A and B are shown apart, each in its own frame.
Chain A
């Protein structure tokens, strides 16, 4: 059983990139283009990990994390902020708001998947190929 990962991002190209990298590794993904859709998908599809942009229309990343952390079901789901905000203090405020990690765009495609996997329990990780 490998993890199902929800990608919430209003930038389609960013969504595509994360989806491609994660699916190439063997994970299944879901996409949501704003915070509200992300929250609804969380309720219906029950993802194992959520990647979430911060600046989005309708419902932004901070509202998403506040909503999910307030619910007993989703209080512990791994939530990683993936954002193009990189001003000083952005990482601190994201962690303070309840995100487990903060990854700055542009992401490094060579290390991104490993960064995300670190927040998955081992039984949900894609097992390394025996050869690698």
Chain B
């Protein structure tokens, strides 16, 4: 055998040929080794074979192979080795200890044959025989892989889900069923799983996708279970297409987003599983920061321990209700500021168990408005009190100087200091009249002001209206006599009892008769009391009829306005304050009644006070 041929054999050997020094360093590395393990020759030479291609859990095994080879000069072994990209490869290893003439170990020569595919076929045969019937009967798609990540079994649900025939899948790396963007991460996760195999859900909290033949993706949920066999550990993945659920979830999320309030959904452990953008905005945490956190992150420190208890209580007796009825609730923002909230809780039954949905409303603005209203009320009460004091002071201050004016005008007119001549007497009478008018004005204004401030207190008592009217008529009779008017009183023959305020009734009747007497120059004034039945019920009608000038149609509209005395051109006839009818109407309203009038210009007027009989 020439050297040339030897080289060629070395170069062309379909299996990896590796020479390893007694210390375990790589001395030779043929092209097939490069093809199988992914390391070019210059990267491999001089490296420790253990570091380069032997997985952690196979190191002991590799050492044994060498010991065995030393003892027997040749061993044949099947095992798993690691590629440069981290994936595993099944190899059949033949190792020979090569010795020099003296019989000392010169190097190991290791021939490694890639038997991954053969292994897959063997594994497939094994699991197929053992698990086929069982796996066909489950509703989920099942994909089983061996330690090299190769698919060794699929059930028909998986064929249907991924759109591939069984033959197309067997022996493929499982990444074949994933979108390309997940390949690298999946490789790492896969070797991680084999290091600590236990049944669990894949990628908790992550969105997982499967890849169908033809390139379309679909959302999946995957649970992983290790399966120990005599051919090594396999992994069974049960895969569920959750496209429909995602759609439902999406609808649910859309619904949450459309809610006016911040919505936070928590699970039984009080962990946040879903929030809407309103919640993100309200609390200042991002969605990612909130998901998975305990709900107490949104509760001020001092309420947290109590909240925990309430939360547990709610899960024990879940029903839709407002949180903490009657309590002041506060939310906590990321920046540690607090704000008042109102929260309503609803249990949410799902396939994955019981959740609680809380709708949270920031009531800062409402609280502010309520506070403003309270402040305003206090302010108004203060203002009302100030107004009362003002009325009292005004009354006092206006009356005090009038005391001197009216008093000394009186002493002069009484001629206490000495006799008066006719002109002095006349002028003093004018002063006296003016002063008395001013006093009436003050009294009426104060009454009006009290009415306006709703400060008039009615003293209700049962009175005989006939008696009241007779008294009023008697007190005004002298005024009628002075003007030569015929004053008549027409009352029912029996007592007419009414529960009302005597003073207010008096004031109204005096005002109405006073007006009639004031404006009537000739003829008569008649005061009448009748019981009438109106659409509103039985009423007492107190009417005052005169033969005065009547009220011009254009004046009638504003008759009851303050200071709207009619016939303003005829100033010299003006008496009274201009407040009488205005005040009377207000008083009548206080008594639950009203004042109406009928008037014919030039013929006379009738003013009627109607008070309800209970």
**Pairwise interchain contact A17-B408, C-beta atoms closer than 8 A:** yes
Knowing A13-B401, A17-B411, the reply to whether A106 touches B406 (Cβ < 8 A) is yes
CA distance A129 to B398 in the complex (A): 37
The answer to the question of B399 belonging to the interface, with a C-beta cut-off of 8 Å to chain A, is yes
**Pairwise interchain contact A11-B392, C-beta atoms closer than 8 A:** no
The answer to the question of B378 belonging to the interface, with a C-beta cut-off of 8 Å to chain A, is no
What B residues does A86 contact at CB under 8 A? 395, 399, 443
The answer to the question of A28 belonging to the interface, with a C-beta cut-off of 8 Å to chain B, is no
Task: Report the minimum CB–CB distance from B429 to chain A (whole Å).
Answer: 14
**Pairwise interchain contact B396-A84, C-beta atoms closer than 8 A:** yes
CA distance A83 to B397 in the complex (A): 11
Knowing A84-B395, A87-B391, the reply to whether A13 touches B404 (Cβ < 8 A) is yes
What A residues does B406 contact at CB under 8 A? 106-109
What A residues does B127 contact at CB under 8 A? none
B396 to A, closest residue via Cβ: A84
**Pairwise interchain contact B410-A109, C-beta atoms closer than 8 A:** yes
* Among B392, B403, B439, contact of A17 (Cβ-Cβ < 8 Å): B403
* Among B392, B397, B407, B411, contact of A106 (Cβ-Cβ < 8 Å): B407
The answer to the question of B400 belonging to the interface, with a C-beta cut-off of 8 Å to chain A, is yes
Knowing A84-B400, A85-B396, the reply to whether A109 touches B407 (Cβ < 8 A) is yes
Knowing A11-B400, A84-B399, the reply to whether A109 touches B405 (Cβ < 8 A) is no
- Residues of A in contact (CB 8 Å), total 23
Knowing A24-B411, A110-B410, the reply to whether A105 touches B402 (Cβ < 8 A) is yes
CA distance A106 to B402 in the complex (A): 6
A83 to B, closest residue via Cβ: B396
The answer to the question of B552 belonging to the interface, with a C-beta cut-off of 8 Å to chain A, is no
In the complex, which residues 97-113 of chain A have their Cβ closer than 8 Å to any Cβ of chain B?
A: 104-110, 112
The answer to the question of B335 belonging to the interface, with a C-beta cut-off of 8 Å to chain A, is no
What A residues does B403 contact at CB under 8 A? 11, 13-14, 17, 84, 105-107
What A residues does B405 contact at CB under 8 A? 106
CA distance A85 to B393 in the complex (A): 8
CA distance A84 to B395 in the complex (A): 7
What B residues does A88 contact at CB under 8 A? 457
* Chain B interface, >50% SS class: helix
Task: Report the minimum CB–CB distance from B428 to chain A (whole Å).
Answer: 12
Residue of B401, B407, B446 with highest tally of chain A CB at under 10 A: B407
In the complex, which residues 406-448 of chain B have their Cβ closer than 8 Å to any Cβ of chain A?
A: 406-408, 410-411, 414, 416, 435, 439, 443, 446
Task: Report the minimum CB–CB distance from A54 to chain B (whole Å).
Answer: 9
The answer to the question of A29 belonging to the interface, with a C-beta cut-off of 8 Å to chain B, is no
Task: Report the minimum CB–CB distance from B413 to chain A (whole Å).
Answer: 8
What A residues does B391 contact at CB under 8 A? 87
**Pairwise interchain contact B392-A85, C-beta atoms closer than 8 A:** yes
What B residues does A107 contact at CB under 8 A? 403, 406-407
A111 to B, closest residue via Cβ: B410
* Among A14, A20, A104, A105, contact of B411 (Cβ-Cβ < 8 Å): A20
* Chain A interface, >50% SS class: loop
CA distance A86 to B439 in the complex (A): 12
Residue of B392, B395, B401, B404 with highest tally of chain A CB at under 10 A: B404
Task: Report the minimum CB–CB distance from B153 to chain A (whole Å).
Answer: 102
A18 to B, closest residue via Cβ: B407
What B residues does A21 contact at CB under 8 A? 407, 411, 416
CA distance A110 to B439 in the complex (A): 17
Task: Report the minimum CB–CB distance from B39 to chain A (whole Å).
Answer: 110
What A residues does B395 contact at CB under 8 A? 84-87
A85 to B, closest residue via Cβ: B396
- Residues of B in contact (CB 8 Å), total 25
**Pairwise interchain contact A106-B408, C-beta atoms closer than 8 A:** no
A105 to B, closest residue via Cβ: B403
CA distance A105 to B408 in the complex (A): 13
B404 to A, closest residue via Cβ: A13
**Pairwise interchain contact A106-B414, C-beta atoms closer than 8 A:** no
Knowing A13-B404, A14-B404, A20-B416, the reply to whether A105 touches B399 (Cβ < 8 A) is yes
In the complex, which residues 29-69 of chain A have their Cβ closer than 8 Å to any Cβ of chain B?
A: 55
Interface string of B434-468 (1 = CB under 8 A from A): 01000100010010000000000100000000000
CA distance A118 to B401 in the complex (A): 26
What A residues does B392 contact at CB under 8 A? 85, 87
What B residues does A112 contact at CB under 8 A? 407
**Pairwise interchain contact B407-A17, C-beta atoms closer than 8 A:** yes
Residue of A55, A83, A88, A106 with highest tally of chain B CB at under 10 A: A106
Task: Report the minimum CB–CB distance from A123 to chain B (whole Å).
Answer: 25
**Pairwise interchain contact B400-A105, C-beta atoms closer than 8 A:** yes
CA distance A24 to B414 in the complex (A): 11
Residue of B392, B395, B396, B439 with highest tally of chain A CB at under 10 A: B396
* Among B397, B398, B414, contact of A109 (Cβ-Cβ < 8 Å): B414
Knowing A87-B392, A87-B395, the reply to whether A17 touches B457 (Cβ < 8 A) is no
Task: Report the minimum CB–CB distance from B231 to chain A (whole Å).
Answer: 108
Task: Report the minimum CB–CB distance from B404 to chain A (whole Å).
Answer: 4
What A residues does B399 contact at CB under 8 A? 84, 86, 104-106
**Pairwise interchain contact A55-B411, C-beta atoms closer than 8 A:** no
**Pairwise interchain contact A14-B410, C-beta atoms closer than 8 A:** no
**Pairwise interchain contact A55-B396, C-beta atoms closer than 8 A:** yes
CA distance A112 to B408 in the complex (A): 12
Residue of A17, A104, A108, A110 with highest tally of chain B CB at under 10 A: A17
CA distance A85 to B395 in the complex (A): 7
Task: Report the minimum CB–CB distance from A88 to chain B (whole Å).
Answer: 7
B388 to A, closest residue via Cβ: A87
CA distance A108 to B414 in the complex (A): 12
Task: Report the minimum CB–CB distance from A107 to chain B (whole Å).
Answer: 6
What A residues does B410 contact at CB under 8 A? 108-110
CA distance A88 to B404 in the complex (A): 23
B405 to A, closest residue via Cβ: A106
Task: Report the minimum CB–CB distance from B586 to chain A (whole Å).
Answer: 16
List the 9 closest pairs (A to B, CB-CB), nearest first: A109-B410, A13-B404, A84-B399, A17-B407, A106-B403, A105-B403, A106-B406, A84-B396, A106-B402
12 other contacts beyond A13-B401, A84-B398, with CB at 8 A cut-off?
Answer: A11-B404, A17-B403, A17-B408, A20-B416, A84-B395, A105-B399, A106-B399, A106-B405, A106-B439, A107-B407, A109-B407, A109-B410
9 A-B interface contacts by CB (under 8 A): A14-B407, A17-B404, A20-B408, A86-B399, A105-B403, A106-B405, A106-B406, A106-B439, A109-B414
